[in-house]
Structure 1
Amino acid sequence: MGMLDNGQGIIPQVVFEVSWEVCNKVGGIHTVLASKCEAAMASFGDQYIFIGPDIWREEHDNPEFNEDTGLFLGWKEHARGLGLNFRTGTWNIPGSPQTIIIDFTPLIPRKDEFFSKAWEDYKLDSISGDWDYVEASLFGFAAGMLIKSYTEYYHIHEVVAQFHEWMSAAGLLFIEKEAPYIATVFTTHATTIGRSIAGNGLPLYETLTQYSGDEMAGRLNVRAKHSLEQIAAVVADQFTTVSNITAEECTILLGKTPDQITPNGFNSEIVPNASVLKNQRIESREKIRNVAEAVFGSNVPDDVLIIGTSGRYEFRNKGIDIFIRALAKLDKENPQGKAVLALILVPANNYGPRSRVVQRLAGENPEMSGSVHLTHNLHDAGFDPVLRLLEEVNLDNNEKRRVKVLFIPCYLNGTDGLIDLTYYQVLMGLDYTLFPSYYEPWGYTPQESLAFGVPTLTTDLSGFGRWMAPVTGDTKNAALNIAPRMNKSDDQLIAWISTNLNDFSNYSDKELLQAREKAIELSQKTLWKDFFTYYLLAYQTALDAVSLVDRPMPDRVDGSAEDGRMKLARSSDPIWKRVLVESEFPQDLKGLEDISKNLWWTWNYEAENLFQSIDPILWEQVEYNPIALIRQIPLGRLMELETDVSFNESYRRVYEKFKKYMGRTNPAPGPSIAYFSMEFGFHSSLKIYSGGLGILAGDYLKEASDRNVPLIGVGLLYRYGYFRQVLTITGEQIAEDIQEQFSDLPVQPVYDEEGQWVDTQIAMPGRMLHIRLWKAMIGKIPLYLMDTDYDANQPNDRSITYHLYGGDEENRLKQEMVLGT
């Protein structure tokens, strides 16, 4: 490798692929990377390495990451000596590629240093960036540092680093300045400005040429992200995007035309053979009909045409509104045709299957009440956009109606408690899918439909639709229909789709079978084994660009083999490593851990004095946090405490007092109480308060515990709490944010009966906000705390619980919404 490939260009020795969605499912990029992996490994094998964020540091193990401490041993010690904190292993996807996940949080104190340098080098505007921008940028910088370290350690000459979206682009800027001998590729799957324009209900494509990207970035408050994306597109050795329609966005909004289109392929290996597909189709149709009959309370004929739409809950961008209105028009204007059962497969804020539907499926016949569309219970159903529009257009699932609608608002993972089929299994039971999206840079859902033999509809505003248009020849095709949405009104599009649906419903069984066969045939034109050649061309062109200029690499920094190749297998050479040995806490003093995890000690001075007596200097260093104290007690001091008569007497007295206090029964008479507050003040080691309101709320919980009143507290767990005021060397007062490590706090995750971390969701415009639950014990009173700073959320939503009373008015409103759940 590294030689010319028959004159086609230089082939990379190593390819790094960097994304916020490596081992971290957020959106469609996760699917792109995971499905592409095997095609990439067919070209590069173990020289294809993913880099993603390590965001599971304080909770359960990351289910997508399998750690392998034996990878890259010598280099890891070298890189960690440079201050990089990361883990090595494999990503739990087909191909099991080698993967590095980075803990970027140690770089937070250096954020000003990085952003100042980026301003000097590129005039990067980072001032307006919120914490989602800061965290993603620090991840990018860390990835760039790691790639530079790896390349120089193994002295590799043909290296490509591909960075996806603005979330990783800071790494590309770092490499261009600090390691220009590494070829860079920047890929945007959707421009920040384009998504923001469409997401705010503004016309995008109709007036695209009238927009200024810089001006709209200011109006829509995404200036920092736009600046990073724009600079990365300009300075990368190759700038790519996924479709022609997104390329038009880039040209206008970023001022840079992509060098290469790299369309998204599909991995056909996940599709079962024809026999299994046929049997699954029969099974899935039967299950769908049974569930529909249980919800409707009426018969669904065997020959019903089952159609569906799916995707993220982006009501307008994904065309869910158009889908519903087209169904209503079909039902009103063609009421006598074949029965149509329309499924809306969009995850929303559900809380489990409807019990009466479950009973009906079990053969019981309870009287139904509530929604005539829902399979699962939905929080705030009265405000749900789908249900409100169904009511507005009078799709009421009356027995006499031709069109009936079933709303399945859950993730189809096979364990939802009602459907109990995966998304692909449900897909195999459909006759037709429709995705009339407005903003769809590519569009995996229609691509998946074709692969599973399901005819589909997309629009000429989707990247996939535009890519396939020359293949189908006609926008109205039995297997792939491309609805004209460009420069069309909603009414025109609705009429087109309604007519198309009616025509499709009149197909004979033979015509439907031919359409399914044609769908599979068309899907073969979008496989990764063919589409990956576009990536290869981008890699080769990037390496060619590097080879044309003088970008010398420093001398080798290790003593590895003469050919300078990386050590991809486990090393058999002994390597001395620093090892952190955690002392085993003496069994006789285990009660100290119980006391430290309950804030009872904060108003029991004998308990506080007990912790202080363990190590007064360390007690002050850990800022009077007993959990941190216990974790850092030197082994020698532990051995002394075991034989310290005075200490043991104090310990036993305090522990007996604590157990007696917690063992009280017979709660005070009266109703159960839930106390909600934005802040609770108990002690400085749990920074979820700022002043009198918090202290008052904390005192209420303490007093309720002392009086054995049945009460629970409900609040928020802030990642940065409130700021700390410090003085600079010149005497200037500034605010300093300190990130909380939840593992050092007296809080524990709340798990359900199946051992899953309890979370809930709120329906936000075009997306779901996920909230996870923690518990702190205030004597006998449980205080439930919620936070949004985890990978299930979009970056903007993770910052909702960053700061107490932080952010603008909109963020304050979001915090109050979270508290009210």
Structure 2
Amino acid sequence: MNTNYSDCLLTEVAWEVCNQVGGIYTVIRSKVPTMTEVWGDRYCLVGPYFHNKAIAEFEPINNYDDVFGQAVLKMRDLGYEVQYGYWLVSGRPKVVLINHFSAFYKLGEIKYTLWENHGISSPDGDDLLNQVIAFGYLAKVFHQQLDEVKGDVPCVSHFHEWMTGTAIPEMRREHVKTSIVFTTHATLLGRYLAMNDPNFYDHLPYYDWNKEAVNFNIEPAVKIERAAAHGANVFTTVSEVTARECESLLGRTPDMVLPNGLNIERFTALHEFQNLHKEYKDQIHEFIIGHFFQSYTFDLDKTLYFFTSGRYEYKNKGFDITLEALARLNWRLKEENTDTTVVMFFITKQPYHTINPQVLQSRAVMEEVRSNCDAIVQQVGDKLFEASASSDDLKLPDLNKFVDEYWKLRLRRTLLSWKSHELPKVVTHNLVYDSQDEILNFIRQSNMVNNQHDKVKVVYHPDFIASTNPLFGMEYGQFVRGCHLGVFPSYYEPWGYTPLECMASGVPAITSDLSGFGDYVLKNIPNNENKGIYVTNRFHKSYHDAAQQLADQMYHFVHLSRRDRITQRNRVESASEHFDWQNLGSYYDKAHRLAFSMAIR
């Protein structure tokens, strides 16, 4: 057998290849340039084929001369629909996209094999589970065909998450000649337990995994995850936090921890990203004017923008503790009668009917006010220039005379139609489950409903931000750059990309020691608060103690001078280099080398 690592092939299998459905998509996609730099043409990704998603990210290859292409042709000969091409992202890696629906005709047989050989039973009515099982079967078939065409060339196959997991025990049973790495980014059972048990971490060593899986009706998926973890030659996860979870809930301690990174965009001069912060902050100002100034005003030069984002998991994402800390911060700032205003954005995804009509109307009328003001500025500017150029003295003309009565009246009428005595809306959309929403219920109970005297205002936006969004008109990354502080004190977060994305944008962030990212920061980044990365201690801390620490951290940030905030943005942007895939990719290389050493034994 060939024993040269430089000849080894690497396949990477994930449900998120060309399929943007979650945070692992960011992991896989952002890591690609580092992988292609190391592996070149010996690297190929494998994922599911969804035509409507792949059409924007996938380009077919017409040449099937390499081993991956030959394996694709052999699969087609077996009657399966398989696409071969390039993923149109940085690095342009080769990808094999498998239409798992082309194996649905034998789904019953596949399920029986899983049950007979591995004790994994699966109900008929679960659509995602059916797709996952069919995809896992075809991922196994692909590696069998690759086995036939590659000869004695060694191969490492890296699988991500339980959605790819059914392939692993079957590949081991059928002696497919590849060494398998499996990475769990979060245990499925852990996420459910953390949402439902306030003492999850204390109870972690004592759970009966099978009983709890049955209780949450996720037994097949949990069994798939356990089979993958135990079947892999090298088992990995993304953080020490999740490693402890894997030991208790999956019954295997990970061989390695593979931290997540990003492609960090480096600026040749520090002022470049500071300029971007100002540009996007000005766009957020426009939203704030439209949303709040209809009812009352405050000084935008003394306004700080905080935000949190992510899937709606009220406790797991730390929305509960964030709201409690904001209420305490609001009381403290009111007590000292500060002239600073904090606007806190909650950006998440919840079912809604429409954007609130009053919010939309206020935004539209504000645009009309701006249009009127622009017309007046143009008129005054032109007439002022003519009057100044033709004047015989140096006296400044009366500018009021330069504005037509028409524009004065129109502006006055527009302002009168815009101004309102109602409080600015907390939530920008009409929610389907308004009365049951935990964020809204806390806000109402604590009376943080955007009163004029409140120093902390809240904007709850139950949809993700994109350039097509009529309220913001900017991309999420631009919105992040325009903010001053990201707040992510998660209770359950195997890694935590959102604070890392803040760092990469030069925005200070708060995380928690229960997130993989926060745990990594405490162990690897000295003087982290000085670098703009705050960590709220939640491990073995009460809810109220953690909320008070979070409130104190936000209070400290509010009282930084403008110069100190600029310095902190410089420091956090510099510290983000630590998380560049150019550095963290070495962890993946170690895992692949370990798997390779097992393949050649």
Q: Which one of the candidate residues 321, 340, 343 is aligned to 2:342?
A: 340
Q: Does residue 268 of structure 1 match 2:264?
A: yes
What is the alpha-carbon distance in structure 2 between the residues aligned to residue 242 and residue 199 of structure 1? 20
1:61–1:519 CA distance, 2 compared to 1 (3 A): closer
Q: Secondary structure at the match of 2:165?
A: helix
Q: Secondary structure at the match of 2:459?
A: strand
The CA deviation at 1:237 is 0.8
What is the alpha-carbon distance in structure 1 between the residues aligned to residue 109 and residue 267 of structure 2? 49
Q: Secondary structure at the match of 1:268?
A: coil
Aligned to 2:508: 455
Aligned to 1:535: 588
What is the alpha-carbon distance in structure 1 between the residues aligned to residue 47 and residue 267 of structure 2? 28
Aligned to 1:755: none
The CA deviation at 1:410 is 2.6
Give the partner amino acid of 2:185.
Answer: H
1:102–1:462 CA distance, 2 compared to 1 (3 A): same
Q: Does residue 133 of structure 1 match 2:186?
A: no
Instruction: Answer yes or no: is the 8 Å Cα contact 2:71–2:142 preserved in 1.
Output: no
**1:362-373 aligned within 5 A:** 362=367, 363=369, 364-365=414-415, 366-368=418-420, 372-373=425-426
Instruction: Answer yes or no: is the 8 Å Cα contact 1:196–1:220 preserved in 2.
Output: yes
What is the alpha-carbon distance in structure 1 between the residues aligned to residue 227 and residue 348 of structure 2? 35
Q: Unaligned regions of 5+ residues in structure 2, if any?
A: 370-413
Q: Which one of the candidate residues 472, 476, 494 is aligned to 1:419?
A: 472
Q: Secondary structure at the match of 2:132?
A: helix
1:473–1:275 CA distance, 2 compared to 1 (3 A): closer
Aligned to 1:482: 535
Q: Does residue 42 of structure 1 match 2:44?
A: no
Q: Does residue 64 of structure 1 match 2:62?
A: no
The CA deviation at 1:352 is 4.1
Give the partner amino acid of 2:325.
Answer: A
What is the alpha-carbon distance in structure 1 between the residues aligned to residue 114 and residue 261 of structure 2? 35
Instruction: Answer yes or no: is the 8 Å Cα contact 2:3–2:600 preserved in 1.
Output: no
What is the alpha-carbon distance in structure 2 between the residues aligned to residue 215 and residue 380 of structure 1? 31
**1:552-567 aligned within 5 A:** none
What is the alpha-carbon distance in structure 1 between the residues aligned to residue 588 and residue 530 of structure 2? 30
**1:92-131 aligned within 5 A:** 92-126=88-122, 130-131=126-127
Aligned to 1:742: none
**1:764-803 aligned within 5 A:** none
Aligned to 1:516: 569
Instruction: Answer yes or no: is the 8 Å Cα contact 1:18–1:161 preserved in 2.
Output: yes
Q: Secondary structure at the match of 2:465?
A: coil
Q: Does residue 229 of structure 1 match 2:229?
A: no
Q: Does residue 30 of structure 1 match 2:30?
A: no
The CA deviation at 1:409 is 2.7
1:68–1:259 CA distance, 2 compared to 1 (3 A): same
What is the alpha-carbon distance in structure 1 between the residues aligned to residue 61 and residue 198 of structure 2? 48
What is the alpha-carbon distance in structure 2 between the residues aligned to residue 63 and residue 78 of structure 1? 26
Aligned to 2:492: 439
Give the partner amino acid of 2:214.
Answer: G
The CA deviation at 1:115 is 2.9
Give the partner amino acid of 2:322.
Answer: F
Instruction: Answer yes or no: is the 8 Å Cα contact 1:456–1:479 preserved in 2.
Output: yes
Please state which structure has a larger fraction of its residues in helix: 2
- Spell out, residue by residue over 1:183-229, the C-alpha distance to the aligned partner (whole angstroms, 9 max, x if none): 11111001111011123355321211121222211222111111111
Aligned to 2:382: none
**1:217-616 aligned within 5 A:** 217-269=213-265, 274-297=270-293, 298-301=296-299, 302-335=301-334, 336-337=337-338, 338-350=340-352, 351-352=354-355, 354-362=359-367, 363=369, 364-365=414-415, 366-368=418-420, 372-473=425-526, 476-477=529-530, 479-548=532-601
- Spell out, residue by residue over 1:55-80, the C-alpha distance to the aligned partner (whole angstroms, 9 max, x if none): 33xx6863222233444555433221
1:272–1:66 CA distance, 2 compared to 1 (3 A): farther
Q: Secondary structure at the match of 1:89?
A: strand
Instruction: Answer yes or no: is the 8 Å Cα contact 1:292–1:406 preserved in 2.
Output: no
The CA deviation at 1:11 is 4.6
What is the alpha-carbon distance in structure 2 between the residues aligned to residue 60 and residue 542 of structure 1? 32
What is the alpha-carbon distance in structure 2 between the residues aligned to residue 236 and residue 397 of structure 1? 53
Q: Secondary structure at the match of 2:297?
A: coil
Q: Secondary structure at the match of 1:458?
A: strand
Give the partner amino acid of 2:329.
Answer: L
The CA deviation at 1:276 is 3.7
What is the alpha-carbon distance in structure 1 between the residues aligned to residue 2 and residue 569 of structure 2? 44
1:271–1:146 CA distance, 2 compared to 1 (3 A): farther
Q: Secondary structure at the match of 2:235?
A: strand
What is the alpha-carbon distance in structure 2 between the residues aligned to residue 546 and residue 321 of structure 1? 47
What is the alpha-carbon distance in structure 2 between the residues aligned to residue 441 and residue 271 of structure 1? 30
Instruction: Answer yes or no: is the 8 Å Cα contact 2:154–2:600 preserved in 1.
Output: no
The CA deviation at 1:404 is 1.0
1:405–1:173 CA distance, 2 compared to 1 (3 A): same
Instruction: Answer yes or no: is the 8 Å Cα contact 1:311–1:346 preserved in 2.
Output: yes
Give the partner amino acid of 1:41.
Answer: T
Q: Secondary structure at the match of 1:215?
A: helix
What is the alpha-carbon distance in structure 1 between the residues aligned to residue 526 and residue 513 of structure 2? 13
What is the alpha-carbon distance in structure 2 between the residues aligned to residue 199 and residue 377 of structure 1? 26
- Using structure 2 for the length normalisation, give the TM-score: 0.85
The CA deviation at 1:274 is 3.5
Aligned to 1:20: 15
Instruction: Answer yes or no: is the 8 Å Cα contact 1:238–1:541 preserved in 2.
Output: yes
Aligned to 1:560: none
What is the alpha-carbon distance in structure 2 between the residues aligned to residue 348 and residue 361 of structure 1? 27
Q: Secondary structure at the match of 1:411?
A: coil
The CA deviation at 1:277 is 1.8
Instruction: Answer yes or no: is the 8 Å Cα contact 2:360–2:471 preserved in 1.
Output: no
**1:162-177 aligned within 5 A:** 162-177=158-173
Give the partner amino acid of 1:65.
Answer: F
Paired residues in the alignment total 541
Instruction: Answer yes or no: is the 8 Å Cα contact 1:395–1:404 preserved in 2.
Output: yes
The CA deviation at 1:435 is 0.1
The CA deviation at 1:474 is 5.3
What is the alpha-carbon distance in structure 2 between the residues aligned to residue 260 and residue 478 of structure 1? 28
What is the alpha-carbon distance in structure 1 between the residues aligned to residue 434 and residue 112 of structure 2? 47
What is the alpha-carbon distance in structure 2 between the residues aligned to residue 119 and residue 404 of structure 1? 54
Instruction: Answer yes or no: is the 8 Å Cα contact 1:357–1:375 preserved in 2.
Output: no
1:361–1:13 CA distance, 2 compared to 1 (3 A): farther
Instruction: Answer yes or no: is the 8 Å Cα contact 2:17–2:47 preserved in 1.
Output: yes
1:348–1:339 CA distance, 2 compared to 1 (3 A): same
Q: Unaligned regions of 5+ residues in structure 1, if any?
A: 5-9, 549-821
- Spell out, residue by residue over 1:474-497, the C-alpha distance to the aligned partner (whole angstroms, 9 max, x if none): 575451111011122221111111
- Structure with higher Rg: it is 1
What is the alpha-carbon distance in structure 2 between the residues aligned to residue 493 and residue 432 of structure 1? 18
1:229–1:12 CA distance, 2 compared to 1 (3 A): farther
- Spell out, residue by residue over 1:56-105, the C-alpha distance to the aligned partner (whole angstroms, 9 max, x if none): 3xx68632222334445554332211233211122232222111111111
Instruction: Answer yes or no: is the 8 Å Cα contact 1:317–1:439 preserved in 2.
Output: yes
- Using structure 1 for the length normalisation, give the TM-score: 0.63
Instruction: Answer yes or no: is the 8 Å Cα contact 1:38–1:95 preserved in 2.
Output: yes
What is the alpha-carbon distance in structure 1 between the residues aligned to residue 431 and residue 447 of structure 2? 20
Instruction: Answer yes or no: is the 8 Å Cα contact 2:154–2:599 preserved in 1.
Output: no
The CA deviation at 1:254 is 0.8
What is the alpha-carbon distance in structure 2 between the residues aligned to residue 281 and residue 360 of structure 1? 27
Instruction: Answer yes or no: is the 8 Å Cα contact 1:84–1:146 preserved in 2.
Output: no
Query: Relative CO higher for 1 or 2, CA cutoff 8 Å, sep ≥ 6?
Result: 2
Instruction: Answer yes or no: is the 8 Å Cα contact 2:61–2:85 preserved in 1.
Output: yes
What is the alpha-carbon distance in structure 1 between the residues aligned to residue 240 and residue 141 of structure 2? 33
